[in-house]
Every structure is written in structure tokens, then in C-alpha cells.
Amino acid sequence: MSPNKRITMNDHAAEASLFKRRALFTFLCVLILLSLLFANLYQLQILSFKDYETRSNDNRIRVVPVAPSRGLIYDRHGQLLAENQPYFSLEMVPEKVDDISETLTQLSEVIALTDDEKQSVISALKYHRRFKPLTIKNKLTEEQVAVFGVNQHKFPGISVEAGLKRHYPYNGLMTHALGYVGKINSRDKNSLEQNNKWANYAATKDIGKQGIEKFYESILLGKPGHLEEEVNNRGRTIRTLKSESPTPGQDIYLTLDLNLQKKAMELLHGRRGSVVAIDPRDGGILALLSSPTYDPNQFVHGISSKAYSELLNSKSRPLINRATQGQYAPASTVKPHLALLGLENKTVSRKTRIWDPGFWQIPGVERKYRDWKRWGHGWVDVNSAIVSSCDIFFYDLAYKTGVDAIANFMAPFGFGESTGVDLYEETTGILPSKEWKRLRYNQPWYIGDTISVGIGQGYWTTSPLQLANAAAIMANKGRRFVPHLLKSIQDETAKIDSPPDELPPIELKNPNNWDIINQAMRNTAHKSRFTDAKYTAAMKTGTAQVFSVAEDEKYDADTIDESLRDNALIIAYAPYENPKIVLAVVLENAGWGGVNAGPVARALLDEYLLRDSWDEAK
């Protein structure tokens, strides 16, 4: 061995120590990784089991909402006013259709599709979720369903769906009372979501839009059910696991009388105007007609833009509910109420007499306020002033009373405020006062304004429903009810009557004043339209000016535009001794109230009060 060669000796102890450290580190790493693996398994299998089971079931189990049938609507005698009819619609799931435009073109060869229908589908796609069904065509006939069934294999993603849709068998007869249902739009959806009600509409596409349908939506809607279906990875149904039946909406009965409503429609015969009839014993509305009207069925399946535009732009304004939203000067129909005010505050008495030469003047003012009878009525008292509708008497009464006293007295009769009727479509009208004019126009009140109010003209406006309500209070001698359309609700076992909402009565200092005014209205009826009636009645007519006539001019209906002619009004009730019905009739631009509105009121009272005797005669 060479002396210069170095001999290396291995340090077995150091190597063993290094190996142990490396082995321990590797073991610890493996242990940590195994711990993490088992911790993750524990998290998945134990702690998160329910969550992942739910997710798995969501992929395997599909919950399909089932729409409830909407509650039916009947009149007071059980006549069906709103029903549900079966219908078929053609629907498409956009994500399952490759070329929608081409598909619609091919589809139109099988089922006739108009250009508007195809364009409507294309437009709707911009805002529609592609995995949700989109309606292509509504109201398929049985023949169309059969034809598509034969060709369905050519149109993947398109199917025929069956369901129930609202139908109004009397078309436009009850439109402004019942309203209608229509498709839920984005505004409806936002409102429902804000009020946490969207879940109730999971299975339905319709919602009450107006009238009773809207006001009692929560009662009529019902509660949706659901089906739990097991599906495969392609979404095809394998079996039904569970089902919960929907709860149908409750049926409701209204206070409306179908035959009386039909008679009112027949009498107005498309003329612009309104009829409201109330049972003064409980405030139930017997008839509520606005004319002209429209067919609500066209809104159920979606009205075309052209048809809606025609309704919206029509000069006769059929979309307006004249019974609750129409604003008319009450004219002479409020003279009984004004006379009652005069008796109450002792501005006049039963024996007060005023000379009517055909005109009246504010002291110290040259302008003359004319009576409708140009040569005057001579001496008049409270009774003859109401019977002959003497303007001079009420000019003088208003001048002596003042507008604020008139406003304060008339408010409890329901003027200038909502009646509380169970419809959202109602306006309050105007009951003018000094404060009202200051707030509305920032102008002072003039004495001439008061004179106009004294004969129901000027700023004073009211709806036919308000007129009928005020007349009912007069007939009831101060007893007041909130006018209403709901009579009862049908639950699972029986009909539950809706109690009338009675308000505090109007109490007079001298209750005999009720009799004085009502007797004057009775005399008015006896001397005009109800002389030969088989029942006793009370009434007051009115002729409302639509525009002002100058002092030295004469109103001539034949020489002015029809839209500027006077409105004809009447309030009436019968039987006089125990009133069962109160009427308010308004005919736009018809002329004299007694001549034009009077026959309508007489025919309606005959229809309602003599119906039983006619049935017996048959």
C-alpha cells in the first residue's frame, strides 16, 4: 500500500442517524397526508352528508309545481260569472331548439302562425331564460293539437301543454266589476317578490289585473301543489316519487244581480254612461255597469298590441270604469242634500218661501244667475224647490250657507273621498272648499264659486257610485254602509257570509228633517216617471252642464258638438216606505236628466221590484 494513499472510513453512526431522521420525516409526511385524507373523508361522509345527499337528489329528483284551479265567481243567486275552461298551448324550450327562426318557419306549415306570433316569440327570447318553456301559440283547437301530435317528432323541444284558463261567459257585461286575469309581467313579479308571494305563483302564469279578480286575488288563487319525479341524467322522468295536490282557490259570491246587470246593459245600449244600484239595507252593490265596455277574455290569453291600442285610443274610453272612476258634476241630484243642510243649520225652514223671477243676483252685483226655467217658478218652498228643481232657491241657500259649511255637511255622505268599495279602480272626486282651491290652484275662493256649488256644478265632481251611496244614506235616514261587492266566500264545507261594514250614522239635530226631504223626493217621483208604478218611489233628476254658457247666451243642444251637451243624471230608490234598491244613472251628453235618465231608472226599478210578479204571470 502506498504511503501517500488516503483511506476513507464510513461513519456508520452518523449515517444511521441521518436515515432515522429522513425516515421519521417521511413517516410524518405520510401520517399528515393520511390524516388530511381521513379528515376530508369525515367531512364528506359525516359532516356534509346531508348537503351532498340533497345535491344528489336535486340532480336525481325533479320537483314539478302543479297549478291550483282558480276560484269561481258567482252572482248573488249562484249564476256563474267567471269560470275556468281547458285550453291547449304550444310551448318551446329554447335551449332544445337549434335554429329557432327556421323551426318557427317549418312549424307554421303545420300550425298556422301569424307574423305577429312569430315576431312575439323572437322578441320574448331577449328576456326569457332559455331553459324555461316559452309559449308560441295559445288557444289551440282540437284539430291543431291532433295535427301537431302527428308531426311532433319533427320538432324537438316543442310540445303541446294542457291547462285551465279563465273565461268570462258574459263577455263585456261584468267587465268593470269583475276585471280580468292576465299574464304575469315583470312589474307583477317584482311586486310579488317584494311581498314574499312569488312562491305562490310557481305553477301559474296568470294574476288578477283589475276589478274583483285583483282585489280578491289571494282568495281566488289557491295554493300550488307539486310532483317529485325521479329523472335520469338526460332529464327524462323515470317514476313519480311523491305528489302533493294543489289547494283550489276559494269560490266567491258577489252581491251583483245578473239579471239587473243585463237589463242595465240593454237600456244603455252602448251609450256612454253608468248605472249603479245598491241595496241600502247592507250596502251590497246590485249592479255596477260602465258603458261602453270591452271583452275581458281577449286579455286572458294576451291581447295583441293592435287591439289594445284601439281600446286605449278609443274616444269612448271603454277601459275607464265610469261607475267608480267617472267624474261628473252631480247637478240637481244633490239638491235634496243641500236642502237638508239648510234645514239643519236653520238657514231655511219648512215654511220658508223664496220668490223666483227666473234669475238671482248676488247683492250689489249686476250679474244674473239664471234659473233653468227662464220665466221662473214664482214662490217656492223646500218641497216645491226640490220637486221643480228650482235653481234660484239653491243659489240663495248656498249664498247664505257658505261653501265650507256645504263641504263639511256633504263629506259624511261620501263626497270627495273613497267609498271603500272593494275595487282598486276608484277615484275620490272633488268636494270643493276654500282650503281645497287654495291648495289646488293657489287662488282665493269667490262667492260666485259658491253659487255654482249650490246647484251641484262648478268644481264639484262625483262618481256614479258616490251618488248612489249618498242617495242610499238619504233613503236610510242617516244609516251608512260601505258599498261592497263581496257577499260570501265558499270554503271546503260551507258558504261564509261577509258581514256588511256599517259606519257611524249621520245624526241630525232634528230627525224630522229626513222625512221632509224624503217626502219631497217622493213627490218628485209621483209627479213624473212613477205616477203609474205598482210601488212607491222617490227620486231626483239632474242635468249637468259640461261647459259654461255666457249670461246672455242660450244653450242649444242642436247647434253644439255632442261631446259638449249636458249629462243626464238621476238618483232614485224604492219602495219609499222600506227601500230595497237605490239607483244612480249617468248618461253622458244625453241632455235632460228626467227625459233621458228617467226611463232607464224606471225600467230598472220595474225589473228588480216586479220580477217575482212577472215570473208568477208566466
Binding residues for Zn(2+), as ranges, are 356, 371, 377, 390
What cell was used for 253? 259570491
Q: Exposure pattern of 67-101 as b/e (b: 16+ CB <10 Å)?
A: bbebbbbbbbeebebbebeebbbbbbebeebeebe
Distance CA 150, CA 165 (A): 25
Distance CA 307, CA 255 (A): 32
Q: Which residue blocks in 458-541 are alpha helix, DSSP H? A: 464-475, 512-526
Which amino acid is residue 313, in one-letter code?
Answer: N
Burial zone of 322 (CB within 10 Å; 0-12 exposed, 13-18 middle, 19+ buried): buried
What cell was used for 341? 243642510
CB atoms under 10 Å from CB of 175, counted, come to 24
Catalytic residues: 332
Element (H, E) at 182: strand 180-183
Question: What's the full length of the chain, in residues?
Answer: 618
Which amino acid is residue 230, in one-letter code?
Answer: E
Would you say 277 and 600 are in contact if contact means Cβ atoms under 8 Å apart? no
Beta-sheet strands, E only, within 304-375: 354-356, 359-360, 369-370
Report which DSSP code applies to 563.
G
Distance CA 176, CA 290 (A): 7
Would you say 290 and 297 are in contact if contact means Cβ atoms under 8 Å apart? no
Would you say 56 and 50 are in contact if contact means Cβ atoms under 8 Å apart? no
Distance CA 527, CA 250 (A): 48
Distance CA 335, CA 540 (A): 8
Report which DSSP code applies to 246.
-
Element (H, E) at 74: strand 73-74
Residue numbering of the annotated binding site: 356, 371, 377, 390
The span from the first CA to the last CA of the chain, in angstroms, equals 150
Q: Assign 488 to helix, strand or coil.
A: strand
Distance CA 337, CA 44 (A): 81
- Any residues with CB less than 8 A from the CB of 46 and at least 6 apart, and which? none
Answer whether the bond into residue 86 is a cis peptide, omega within 30°: no
Would you say 203 and 65 are in contact if contact means Cβ atoms under 8 Å apart? yes
Burial zone of 196 (CB within 10 Å; 0-12 exposed, 13-18 middle, 19+ buried): exposed
| 210: β partners | 180
